[in-house]
Amino acid sequence: MRMKRIYIAVLLLAVLVTACELPDNLNPKAATAVPTGTIVTNAQVALANNIDAISVNVNINRMICQYTTEVTYVEGARYIYSDRQINDTYWDRYYRDVLMDLNEAKLLYAEETGNVVAMTARDNKLAILEILEVYTYQILVDTWGDVPYTEALGGMENPTPVYDDAATIYNDLIARLSSAISQLSANADGGSFGGEDVFFHGDVAMWIKAAGSMQLRMGMRLADVNSSLSESLVTAAIATGVLEDGDSWELVYTGVTPHVNAIYNAFIVGQRKDYVPCNTFIDFLLAKNDPRLPLFASTVPDTTIYLGMPYGLEGGDAYQDYSHFSDQMFGASWPSVVVDYAEVQLMLAHAAAVGYTTPMTAQEHYDAGVTASVVSWGGAAADATAYLAADGAYDAVNWKQSIGEQMWLACYNRGNEGWNHWREFDVPAMTPAENMTVLDIPLRWPYPFNEIDLNGDNYASASTAIGGDDVRTQVFWDAAPNTN
């Protein structure tokens, strides 16, 4: 009997050893299938992290629109993409970490079957995934112009996708977004995600308002190049419903590493001391007696003085000599924001200023947006009222400057949208980095360097189509010349 057991044991060992040699060997300790909801969560977190990233290796948009500058490793503030291949990382994280996961989740949910209730919830999930895809592609277009779209996500089956025309992509995204909103509206009480949705926890009503806010943003981005489409999108957004007072599309981090705010991760976890508010931003707030200054930044250590570092110094400077981020921004759970009520109101102010039909006047939307920005950062409504009666007052004659400046301030710490709105309004004036000129300030990112080697023919065609792979080449919706 003992010999039989030994023989069986040896036989099993031989089988296991043989199995380990097979090319399709499975790790018994690793998951063989990932729940679809987990894929959705991963995609949403990756999206929020990319938007919120402050590392010079990933996202330098906070620096391009001059909220911040660098005391060390000054490549980002000086628009040097090549040393760290920032544009490659930023591009890859959207295509690989966000879009591929969203696409995989859509394919998996599309295969699901069940009763009417289950299928209604499934359709809502698919619509939400569509909204997230639309937003991600919009980021790519806003950053680069023409990008891979119809042939994107082909993997090894198509490693060299063509680049599609940016305006054509926008038109398709608009149609996809409208369809997703209709699908959600038709199934508003049908349920969707639960905790897998880290933005709204499956709240369909909030997703409809978030999508309406996206319609509004896309509409106003087209205001200078296609006013009829722009106005129709604004009308559709108002009918859909947009974010209301107190609403925000954001990811509130758990506060437990690695699920923490980017500033906390860099400065507290990583013990970095790389970035400070720059003088363009701090000086503007000081000149306007803006009540958000202490909410946005600290004083210089051991002083009562607010001082921004001169932007884009070649040799950097000393961290302790300047103002820093405000204490609340160092919080581990400080959110990554996609769009909030303040931005929505300022976009509606823009819409009203160019003559579109909106719920209130341009000044009323403007006042609501500025007040919402002050309050959302922890200020008092009374402080906002006093500011609006003085240095922050709306100028109906110079409405573009008024709204553009307040949009820039309201999007503080959101480099992507701060930079986008700066390109829309061309205000405030940016300060060139040391020994540079305004012609060096990027109006788009250069294409990833890997594309030149890995997708050279399509890269060359796209570069020619947009007028040159150069940071001063304006994306299609940035039609007004940048005179600053």
* pLDDT tens per residue, range 131-185: 999 999 999 999 999 999 999 999 889 999 999 999 999 999 999 999 999 999 9
Report domain 275-447's class.
mainly alpha
Q: Considering the chain, what is the average pLDDT of its residues?
A: 93
C-alpha span between 454 and 236 (Å, rounded): 41
The amino acid at 468: G
C-alpha span between 253 and 477 (Å, rounded): 33
Reading the block at residue 127, the tokens are 């619509």
Rounded to the nearest 5 degrees, what angle is found at the Cα of 433, between the Cα atoms of 427 and 436?
A: 105
Three-state secondary-structure class, residue 302: coil
> Tell me, what's the pLDDT at 7?
34
- Phi and psi angles of residue 84, each rounded to the nearest 5 degrees, phi first: -115, 0
Please determine, for residue 370, whether its predicted confidence score (pLDDT) is greater than 60: yes
For the chain, percent of residues with pLDDT exceeding 70: 92
C-alpha span between 342 and 371 (Å, rounded): 8
Can you give the residue ranges of every domain in the chain?
Answer: 275-447
* Confidence band for 480, pLDDT divided at 50, 70 and 90: confident
> Tell me, what's the pLDDT at 410?
98
Nearest C-alpha neighbor of 143 from the set 464, 484, 420: 420
**In this predicted model, what pLDDT tens digit does every residue of 11-46 receive, in sequence order?**
333 333 333 343 454 555 455 567 999 999 999 999
Per the CB < 8 A criterion, the answer to whether 244 and 341 are in contact is yes
**In this predicted model, what pLDDT tens digit does every residue of 193-241 receive, in sequence order?**
999 999 999 999 999 999 999 999 999 999 999 999 999 999 999 999 9
- Phi and psi angles of residue 116, each rounded to the nearest 5 degrees, phi first: -60, -40
C-alpha span between 236 and 169 (Å, rounded): 19
Find residue 70's DSSP bridge partners. 275
> Tell me, what's the pLDDT at 33?
66
Nearest C-alpha neighbor of 186 from the set 195, 174, 196, 178: 178
Nearest C-alpha neighbor of 329 from the set 297, 304, 354: 297
C-alpha span between 268 and 300 (Å, rounded): 19
> Tell me, what's the pLDDT at 482?
58
- 246 sits in the region (left: phi over 0; alpha: psi -120 to 50; else beta) called left
Q: Is the dihedral of CA 126, 127, 132, 134 positive or negative?
A: positive
State the distance between the two ends of the chain, measured CA to CA, in whole angstroms.
Answer: 91
Mean pLDDT of 251-264: 96
Reading the block at residue 375, the tokens are 């309050």
Per the CB < 8 A criterion, the answer to whether 181 and 215 are in contact is yes
CB atoms within 10 A of CB 1: 5
> Tell me, what's the pLDDT at 323?
98
Mean pLDDT of 279-303: 98
Q: Residue 248: which H helix or E strand, with range?
A: strand 248-251
> Tell me, what's the pLDDT at 34?
79
Please determine, for residue 54, whether its predicted confidence score (pLDDT) is greater than 60: yes
> Tell me, what's the pLDDT at 4?
34
Q: Which residues contact 369 (CB under 8 A, 6 or more apart)?
A: 341, 342, 343, 344, 345, 346, 348, 349, 406, 410
> Tell me, what's the pLDDT at 32?
53
Please determine, for residue 291, whether its predicted confidence score (pLDDT) is greater than 70: yes
